[in-house]
Structure formats: C-alpha cells, structure tokens
Amino acid sequence: MRRGWKMALSGGLRCCRRLLSWVPVLVIVLVVLWSYYAYVFELCLVTVLSPAEKVIYLIFYHAIFVFFTWTYWKSIFTLPQQPNQKFHLSYSDKERYENEERPEVQKQMLVDMAKKLPVYTRTGSGAVRFCDRCHLIKPDRCHHCSVCAMCVLKMDHHCPWVNNCIGFSNYKFFLQFLAYSVLYCLYIATTVFNYFIKYWRGELPSVRSKFHVLFLLFVACMFFVSLVILFGYHCWLVSRNKTTLEAFCTPVFTSGPEKNGFNLGFIKNIQQVFGDNKKFWLIPIGSSPGDGHSFPMRSMNESQNPLLANEEPWEDNEDENRDYPEASSSLTMETET
C-alpha cells in the first residue's frame, strides 16, 4: 500500500514538472501575441496615419513574423535525435557488464565493444564514453541530458525557453530562431522609435495606443540586447564547429585532448550545421549533413591532406582542463558517466 502511494506521488511530481517546464514557453508565446496586437492594431492601424506607411510596415512585419514563429515552432517540436541501436549494449553484453565487479574488466569490455563503432572521443581519463543510464556507448559529441532523461546526438544544451534539448536534429532551427528573433526585435524597435518620440513630446494625443507603443519599444530593445549576445556567442561556436559543452570542456580523442578537433575551417564549419546548399540556409528545413553519429575531424583531414598538416592551429584562450560550469536556468549540461 505504501509503495503504491510512493509511486503515485512520484508520478504526480513528474507530471507537475512536465507542466511547469512549459511555463517559459508560455511566457514567450504571450509576449509575442501581445507584441503582434500592439504592433499591428495599436501602431499600424491606429497610430500610423499614412496608408502607404501602414502597408509597408505590415508587409515587412508579417514576413519576419512568419519566419520567427516558424523557426520557434521547429525548435520546440523537433525531437532530439538519440543514438541508434548499434550503440546500445545487447542484452547479453549488458548482463555481462553489470555482473562484472572488476572496474578494469568493465573498462576493457567497453573498449572491445567500441572497436566495432565509429567512436573517437574518450572521457578525461581516456576511457570509452559510456552512459550507465541509457546503457549505450556514446557516439562522438553525444551527451546525456538529465532533463530529457536520454542521450542526445551532438548535444549543445537544454533550453528551457523552447522546452527542448538542442542538438543535432534542431540546432540549425535554434540558430535560425535566434537570428529571426534579433531581426524581429530590431524591426519593431526601428519602426516604433519615431512614434515613441512623438508620444514622448506630446505631438500625438494621449490615447490607449500610447501605452502599447511606449512599452513595445522598451520590450523590443530589452529582448534585442539579450538575444544579440546569445546569437553572437552561437555564431562564434558555429565558426569554430563547437557545441556549448565543447566550448567549456575540451573534447578528448584517442590521441588526447584537442581543442580544435572538429574545426574544419570557417566555410566547412558553417556547412556542418546548415548544409552545402545555400538556398536552404535561411529556411527552417533540415539540411545538416550526416546522421549525427559521426563527424569529420580535423586530425583525420590533416593526415590525408599535407596542406592542412602544415597549417598553424587556431589559438583559443580556453583552459583545456576546465570543468563544466554549474547548471543555470537557461543551460543544462551533462557530465561524463
């Protein structure tokens, strides 16, 4: 009886946690809906007097708004991609691994299993990266998300503002969402500013629209500053072909730690996220190359290309032995298990 109550309580807590995880998304949705009303109705239809100006403002606003909401939708509802079955331990291997009490034998068992898989990264101690919660050998750049309770391919971070884990399947959409968010806020701020000044100087009558216009500029500028910093940081990550996790903790390969292990050069780094076809770069359609389980590495390219072998490596100021930072409200990180 007591066990049944505990299970019911645990299930209720999980349900409450799932519901609460949607609160940040709901906040963003409400702010966006209000901004749409304030801009379209209170600014364009009530405050702006010139018919030509109304039409121009509305056309460009809705063009940006469509891509902004489209990329936000894709960031939220594109499920994180998990490792395929060949990285999971078979039933017999799992049983053999769990029954083995000697750590050195367990370690050797994982090494033998990993020989059949395209994995080249290791833990800080040089062991095969293994998730004891999902019971799988982690592919390169894969990490376990404690919020999603699963391993995510090329995990970047868990974002509460989209209530989703950002990884291989939706990183392109997340970057596009940031870009269109910055553009959305910038467009609102620049077009509202003129009427903000007029209201401030008393050149327009103090009606209900005044509050919406004044507050719209304030909210747009506030979000623009925070978003442009976040977007700039992720642009830097893309230019170096790094994830947020890899920026804080240097990946360890079979040959040792390598800060630029996945750095293929500026253009190729961008193509690793957006694909080779440039006409899809601005559209939220999946175009990232590969399957998320393995990635081209700089060390391999250098061994195959003598021109790259003589190239000076890029310098970073990051400490190779830096640990993961503590989890914050906007970023959830996973440590090796």
pLDDT tens, position by position, 157-196: 999 999 999 999 999 999 999 999 999 999 999 999 999 8
**Residue 307 pLDDT > 90:** no
Q: What is the mean pLDDT of the chain?
A: 86
Comparison of pLDDT for 24 and 256, the residue scoring more: 24
Over the range 192-208, which residues count as b (16 or more CB within 10 Å of their CB) and which as e?
A: beebbeebeeeebeeee
Question: Of the ranges 2-11, 211-220, 243-252, which one carries the lowest mean pLDDT score?
Answer: 2-11
What's the length of the chain? Answer: 337
Dmax over CA atoms of the chain, in Å, equals 81
Distance CA 142, CA 153 (A): 4
Q: What is the pLDDT of residue 300?
A: 58
Tokens of 287: 């175009």
- Assign 334 a pLDDT band (cuts: 50, 70, 90): very low
Q: What is the mean pLDDT of residues 312-316?
A: 39
Distance CA 104, CA 292 (A): 30
CA geometry: angle 175, 181, 182, nearest 5 deg: 95
Residue whose token pair is 């919406």? 212
Q: 110's torsion region: left (phi>0), alpha (psi -120 to 50) or beta?
A: alpha
Distance CA 234, CA 11 (A): 36
The model carries a pTM of 0.85
Q: What is the pLDDT of residue 6?
A: 62
- Assign 209 a pLDDT band (cuts: 50, 70, 90): confident
**Residue 78 pLDDT > 90:** yes
Distance CA 269, CA 275 (A): 10
Residues acting as catalytic residues? 159
Q: What is the pLDDT of residue 321?
A: 38
Comparison of pLDDT for 201 and 121, the residue scoring more: 121
**Residue 204 pLDDT > 90:** no
**Residue 337 pLDDT > 70:** no
Note the Cα 95 to chain centre separation in Å: 35
Judging by DSSP bridges, how do beta strands 256-257 and 136-137 pair with one another? unpaired
DSSP structure class, residue 139: P
Instruction: Please list, in sequence order, all residues whose beta carbon lies within 8 angstroms of the beta carbon of residue 321, skipping any fewer than 6 positions away.
Output: 250
